Chains A and B, each alone.
Chain A
Amino acid sequence: MLSYAIRRLLIAIPTLFIVITVAFFMMRIAPGGPFDQERALPPEIEKNIKAAYDLDKPLIAQYGIYIGKLLQGDFGPSIKIRDFSVAELIMAGAPASMQLGLSAIALALVFGIGFGTYAALRQNSAVDFAVMGIAMIGIAIPNFVMAPLLSLVFGLYLAILPTAGWGDGEIQYKILPIIALALPQIAYIARLTRGSMVEVLHSNYIRTARAKGLREKLVVNRHAIKGALLPVISYLGPATAAVMTGSVVIESIFGVPGIGTYFIKAALNRDYPLVMGVVIVYAVMIILLNFLVDMVYGLLDPKLKSP
């Protein structure tokens, strides 16, 4: 188990390096640059600016400079938000994005597994159909529709929560974005849990457990849940990625000061260093969470336990 963990972590390094390299060159291959705008710059001024950012050097040299600085922990300056370095912007934005993302996933796990199990135990009943029907709607409604709806209903009509904004980070500002981000995941996890729970409940070892005369509650809590959760655990990797990309939309709609908004905005602005910085943070997070998921999976699945 330990050697497996170490091996997995070592593979993460070249993976990250490949992500950085591919992102760097893809960003540069895209036509248009940071200074192409409605008001075109006079050529001599564009020359001055490009020199100030080393953008006048050959691409491969720029790549070398970037990697060199990165190894020293320098993410470079933001081209569009000039008063901050990329590191400062990420440090300022990452806590909000992480709170949002991790809370949404935690919420999704608790409610998704809860609803899924509840429905599975009442398979083909009205409750089951209702829960799964609602879940289907939850998956089908995109978050860019759900988020403004939530904001409108709770912020404007009921006026019990702020419509958007972050204030000084008070909890009331976080409720709606977290719910908006968690809803599709709750729905998905509920369906996933229900499906695998139904399957597990019909398996031989559960029949054995019941045959031993165990109470149904114990059968479910001690035996069934563990097996039923395996697909949910493996879904956590993709779920993290989904929540992160989802937060790009949610952050912009609720005005959350996270790094998600930079992801699209910086790419559209061709703010190369900022795009790279965000890509690196996301890549590290996804690699790390996938690693954690695999570790948990190994602990839960007896088939994967090393001899």
Chain B
Amino acid sequence: MSQNAMTAKGLVSGLIKSSRAFVLGTALIAGSMTMLSSTHAQAEKILRVGNDGEPQSMDPHFISTVQTSRLSDDMSLGLLTYGPDGQPVPGAAESWTVSDDGMTYTFKIRDHNWSDGTPVTAQDFIAGWQRLLDPALGAEYASLLYIIEGAEDVNTGKDGAKLAATAIDDHTLKVKLTAPAPYFLAQLTHQTAFAIPRHVVEKYGKDWVKPENIVVNGPYKLVEWIPNVHTKLVKNEEFYDAKNVPIDEVIYYTYEDRTAMQNRFRADELDVARDIASEQISWLRDNLSDSLRIAPYAGIYYYAIRTDKEKFADPRVRKALSLAINREAITDAVLKTGELPAYSFVPPGTGNYTEPAYVSWKDLPYGEKVAEAKKLMAEAGYGPDNPLKFTLRYNTSENHKRIAIAAQNMWKQIGVEADLFNTEGKIHYADLKVGDFEVARAGWIADYNDAQNFLFLGEERTGPLNYAAFGNPRYNELMMEAENEGDLKKRAELMHQAEAIMMEAQPYIPIYYYVSKQLVSPKVKGWIDNAPDRHLTRWLDIAE
């Protein structure tokens, strides 16, 4: 138990003290509050960022939200890291070679130090991966490293399992993969692949991430975390490229309330707000156009259809449901925040891919789409006397609700009666995972920039995440072939064929491609909109 842990007695005495304070009145409280305020030296350049969620942990292995990875990206340097435009660039690895079969990578580790001056070695990376995969640690994202040979066996606790990663010497790291995965390099930017300072983790155990103990190899270092208020990072002077890092201090303020965050931005109390109050989009466009940034974001908003339910077994029914959705109306009239109508499952511009495989009827006028949908429904045996009835589920959110109502009405035109059913997120996803739904809202944001990271959702071996229970043997085959294909072009072509099958079968109705929405003050320099929506503080500057 941590030394700060509270005893029941402490709690009670604290409460009694507060009751006294109540008797003494507010004046005393106010007095003591002022005394509590501390003075601290002002750094030269401070970036104040409104973050739309409380960080989970400073331990890279326990991070699964984008709000937290914003901090870990600033503190840790992966073998590769995000460049100013969100593309992977060399990080802790200054160079690497790939074997001819595309399965073995050899990295040359840059000569650089942890923030306490200890050199970063190849062993630190292997130690990090081994820790992530240790079943006893219970890391949520461990499966992202399964592409490394032996990783899955280690994580599932198989006897004699060994990770195929070796340190040839302190600065040379050799990794063997299970398949020639071209996305492996991009994956190394992800927090799951970061090194850990073994000497610190061994010394402090799980408390190694406390501000007084933490040691990092990235541009910034944690100095303060007040839960629900802010996390403060200061420049790590040991960072190998510290002289090219202009901003001295970055403070992430937690704001779950978008309007509150926006108000603070407007009052010049924040330089960046990582989300906007979408319902005020017209006001923002009129008044804050120089700060408003809306850019394509690698994600897809879709409706999953449970294909193993009898009424949805007929692909004509699924196609009709998809045809009847007026995506342009949803993006332009319902959302109005720049989202793009989706006619493919993989968003355009996704890495290691061709142009997405769009549905064949993408460019038909909406009237013809509806006519075609009606025809398909009739062919499938549905009509005015015998309408298709089902429940559309969505998790709590104003936008999910508005889109569901729109879809319900669009489906009405083709004689479909959909009931809407709303639950909070946890229940929604628990039911989706076990297939307890008919049609349900879902979304996917890429973990790494590769088409495979979207298309695997249609593979049978994916299990619970294949919400639609889509089981097309040819699709599975193509995805498997793509996995073992070393040639990037051929691999992309195989995945394209797979997506074409999925788009014809429509287990998933793509609705729109996500966009990132944020407010960035014009005085923040170096901010480049990008699809992964990564903006490391080290690349930014503040104009005076």
A interface, CB within 8 angstroms of B: 30-45, 48-53, 70-71, 73-75, 80-85, 87-94, 98-99, 102-103, 105-107, 148, 151-152, 155-156, 159, 162-171, 174, 252-258, 261-262, 265, 268-270, 281, 284-285, 288-289, 292
Interface footprint category on B: 35 or more
A143 smallest CB distance to B (angstroms) = 13
CB-based contact B5/A36 at 8 Å:
no
Residues of B427-444 contacting chain A, CB below 8 A = 427-433, 442-444
Give 17 A-B pairs besides A48-B142, A48-B155, A170-B37 with Cβ atoms closer than 8 angstroms.
A32-B429, A34-B426, A41-B140, A44-B156, A45-B142, A81-B54, A103-B26, A163-B263, A163-B267, A169-B33, A252-B260, A253-B257, A254-B260, A269-B426, A281-B11, A288-B19, A289-B19
B214 smallest CB distance to A (angstroms) = 10
CB-based contact A74/B5 at 8 Å:
yes
Interface residue B4 (Cβ < 8 Å from any Cβ of A): yes
Specify which chain B residues have a CB less than 8 angstroms from the CB of A103 in the assembled complex. 26, 29-30
Interface residue B543 (Cβ < 8 Å from any Cβ of A): no
Interface residue B366 (Cβ < 8 Å from any Cβ of A): no
Interface residue B6 (Cβ < 8 Å from any Cβ of A): yes
CB-based contact B225/A162 at 8 Å:
no
8 closest Cβ pairs, A-B complex? A32-B426, A52-B138, A73-B7, A87-B6, A49-B138, A36-B430, A82-B57, A32-B430
User: Residue of A at shortest CB range from B18?
Assistant: A98
Interface stretch, picked from B237-245, B248-256, B371-379, B515-523, is: B248-256
Interface residue B41 (Cβ < 8 Å from any Cβ of A): no
Selected from A35, A81, A169, A258, the residue in CB contact (under 8 A) with B57 is: A81
CB-based contact B226/A152 at 8 Å:
no
Selected from B5, B14, B253, B264, the residue in CB contact (under 8 A) with A85 is: B5
- Complex Cα spacing A73 to B4, Å: 11
User: Scoring B residues 266 to 278 as 1 if CB is less than 8 Å from chain A, else 0, what string do you get?
Assistant: 1101000000000
CB contact under 8 A between A151 and B62, given known A167-B37, A253-B257: no
Specify which chain A residues have a CB less than 8 angstroms from the CB of B55 in the assembled complex. 81
CB-based contact B26/A107 at 8 Å:
yes
CB contact under 8 A between A45 and B140, given known A162-B267, A168-B38: yes
B34 smallest CB distance to A (angstroms) = 6
- Complex Cα spacing A89 to B443, Å: 31
CB-based contact A93/B227 at 8 Å:
yes
CB-based contact A151/B228 at 8 Å:
no
Interface residue B333 (Cβ < 8 Å from any Cβ of A): no
CB contact under 8 A between A31 and B155, given known A73-B7, A91-B6, A257-B226: no
Residues of B252-302 contacting chain A, CB below 8 A = 253-257, 259-260, 263-264, 266-267, 269
B268 smallest CB distance to A (angstroms) = 10
Selected from A40, A107, A168, the residue in CB contact (under 8 A) with B36 is: A168
26 A-B pairs (CB sep. < 8 Å): A31-B427, A32-B428, A38-B429, A38-B443, A42-B143, A45-B143, A48-B142, A50-B138, A51-B135, A74-B5, A81-B56, A83-B225, A88-B4, A91-B6, A99-B29, A155-B267, A156-B263, A163-B269, A165-B253, A174-B30, A252-B260, A253-B257, A255-B257, A257-B228, A265-B54, A288-B15
CB-based contact A255/B255 at 8 Å:
yes
- Complex Cα spacing A40 to B4, Å: 34
B532 smallest CB distance to A (angstroms) = 16
Specify which chain B residues have a CB less than 8 angstroms from the CB of A152 in the assembled complex. 263
CB contact under 8 A between A105 and B22, given known A49-B140, A252-B257: yes
Specify which chain A residues have a CB less than 8 angstroms from the CB of B64 in the assembled complex. 37, 39
User: Residue of B at shortest CB range from A100?
Assistant: B29
Specify which chain B residues have a CB less than 8 angstroms from the CB of A98 in the assembled complex. 18, 21
User: Scoring B residues 124 to 149 as 1 if CB is less than 8 Å from chain A, else 0, what string do you get?
Assistant: 00000000000111111011000000
CB-based contact A92/B226 at 8 Å:
yes
User: Scoring B residues 3 to 17 as 1 if CB is less than 8 Å from chain A, else 0, what string do you get?
Assistant: 011111111101110
- Complex Cα spacing A33 to B7, Å: 28
User: Residue of A at shortest CB range from B5?
Assistant: A87
User: Residue of B at shortest CB range from A32?
Assistant: B426
- Complex Cα spacing A188 to B206, Å: 49
CB-based contact B5/A73 at 8 Å:
yes
CB-based contact B269/A162 at 8 Å:
yes
Specify which chain B residues have a CB less than 8 angstroms from the CB of A106 in the assembled complex. 22, 25-26
Specify which chain A residues have a CB less than 8 angstroms from the CB of B139 in the assembled complex. 45, 48-49
CB-based contact A252/B256 at 8 Å:
yes
Interface residue B463 (Cβ < 8 Å from any Cβ of A): yes
CB-based contact B260/A164 at 8 Å:
yes
CB-based contact A170/B33 at 8 Å:
yes
Interface residue B400 (Cβ < 8 Å from any Cβ of A): no
Specify which chain B residues have a CB less than 8 angstroms from the CB of A85 in the assembled complex. 1-2, 4-5
CB-based contact B34/A148 at 8 Å:
no
Interface residue B388 (Cβ < 8 Å from any Cβ of A): no
Interface residue B167 (Cβ < 8 Å from any Cβ of A): no
- Complex Cα spacing A269 to B22, Å: 33
- Complex Cα spacing A90 to B228, Å: 11
A123 smallest CB distance to B (angstroms) = 30
- Complex Cα spacing A255 to B264, Å: 11
Specify which chain A residues have a CB less than 8 angstroms from the CB of B36 in the assembled complex. 168-169
CB contact under 8 A between A257 and B229, given known A37-B425, A103-B26, A103-B29: yes
A108 smallest CB distance to B (angstroms) = 11
Selected from A31, A88, A91, A171, the residue in CB contact (under 8 A) with B33 is: A171
CB contact under 8 A between A164 and B34, given known A37-B429, A85-B4, A87-B4: no
User: Residue of B at shortest CB range from A80?
Assistant: B56
Residues of B30-78 contacting chain A, CB below 8 A = 30, 33-34, 36-38, 54-59, 62, 64
User: Residue of A at shortest CB range from B442?
Assistant: A38
User: Residue of B at shortest CB range from A92?
Assistant: B227
Interface residue B410 (Cβ < 8 Å from any Cβ of A): no
Task: Give the interface centre of A48, A162, A269 by most chain B CB atoms within 10 Å.
Answer: A48
CB-based contact B15/A285 at 8 Å:
yes
CB contact under 8 A between A83 and B15, given known A48-B136, A92-B227: no
CB-based contact B33/A89 at 8 Å:
no
Selected from A32, A265, A270, A284, the residue in CB contact (under 8 A) with B256 is: A265
CB-based contact B229/A255 at 8 Å:
yes
Specify which chain A residues have a CB less than 8 angstroms from the CB of B227 in the assembled complex. 81, 84, 89, 92-93, 257
